Amino acid sequence: MRTLNIAISDLEFDKFGLRSNSLSFSDFIDIISRELSKQRLTESLTLAKKFGLSDMTMDAITREVKAVRKSAKNHS
C-alpha cells in the first residue's frame, strides 16, 4: 500500500469536517464527491432562480419534458 500526502489549510480541514490527519482514499473520495455535489446543487439552484425555473409547477415541468422529448423524437 502507498501513502499519499496532501496539504490543506486549517480552514479547509474544518470545512470538510475532518477529524484526523489520516484517512483512507475512499473516505477522501467521498468527502470530495459530497463537496462537489453541494457546489453543483448550489449552482443549479442559482440558475433555476435566474431563469425562473424555480417557480415552475410539477405539471409545467412535465409538459416541458414531454415537449422536448417529442421534439427530439421528431428530429431523429
Mean pLDDT of all residues in the chain?
Answer: 92
- The band of 10, judged by pLDDT with boundaries at 50, 70 and 90, is very high
Residue 39: pLDDT band by 50, 70, 90 thresholds? very high
Look at residues 27, 25, 18 and name the one whose alpha carbon lies nearest to residue 2.
Answer: 25
The structure's pTM equals: 0.65
- Binning pLDDT at 50, 70 and 90, where does residue 11 land? very high
Q: Is the pLDDT of residue 76 over 80?
A: no
CB distance 44 to 54 below 8 Å: no
State the pLDDT at residue 52.
86
Q: Where are the domains of the chain?
A: 10-74
